[in-house]
Amino acid sequence: MEIKVINKSANELPEYATTDSAGLDIRAFLSETVTLKPLEHQLIPTGLYLEIPGGYEVQIRPRSGFAFKQGVTVLNSPGTIDADYRGEIGVLLINLSSKNVIIENGERIAQMVVAPFVQATLKLTDKLSETNRGGGGFGSTGVK
């Protein structure tokens, strides 16, 4: 699959870190470093603009190493970029650690996954089919 990209940053295009990676690493496009204080969130620009084919979305997800080592994650994870969106891709990061985290231009801050989707038609009804589970949720199957 090919996705057209405009890159207004000097950073390289998003790329897969390994042969079987599902997500392309994306980088911050900053004119100066950003300091994320504990529990602070900020929209980080990437300089990237995409033309996603119809029937697909791009999901913005945390990078596991960034989350584990720095305590920074994507606040609206996964963030969805629709096929008809043509604006700049921004990544909404939050610092869940107890320390300030510095983000520099070109730093890998998130990953994007290209995924197909299906649009559903909702049908109003008064009754749903029965299942063994029923309305059980949020721990209804136990913890062990």
Give the three-state DSSP class for 140. Answer: coil
Domain limits, the chain: 4-116
Q: Which residues contact 126 (CB under 8 A, 6 or more apart)?
A: none
> Rounded to 5 degrees, what are φ and ψ at 69?
-80, -35
What fold, for 4-116? Deoxyuridine 5'-Triphosphate Nucleotidohydrolase; Chain A (2.70.40)
Full-model pTM: 0.88
- Tell me the backbone φ, ψ of residue 51, rounded to 5 degrees: -115, 95
Give the mean pLDDT of the chain.
Answer: 95
Q: Give the residue from 92, 116, 110, 89 showing the smallest Cα distance to 7.
A: 89
Residue 120, φ and ψ in degrees, nearest 5: -100, 155
Question: What is the structure's pLDDT at 27?
Answer: 98
Is residue 130 classed exposed, middle or buried when 0-12, 13-18 and 19+ CB atoms within 10 A define those classes? exposed
pLDDT given for residue 87 in this prediction = 98
Record the tokens describing residue 109, joined without a space. 């801050």
Q: Is the bond into 78 cis (omega within 30 degrees of 0)?
A: yes
- Output the six-digit token pair for 106: 């070109």
**pLDDT per residue over 114-139, tens digit each?**
999 999 999 999 999 998 888 877 77
In this prediction, residue 17 carries a pLDDT of 93
Q: Average the pLDDT over 93-120 and give the result.
A: 97
DSSP 75: T
- The DSSP letter of residue 58 is E
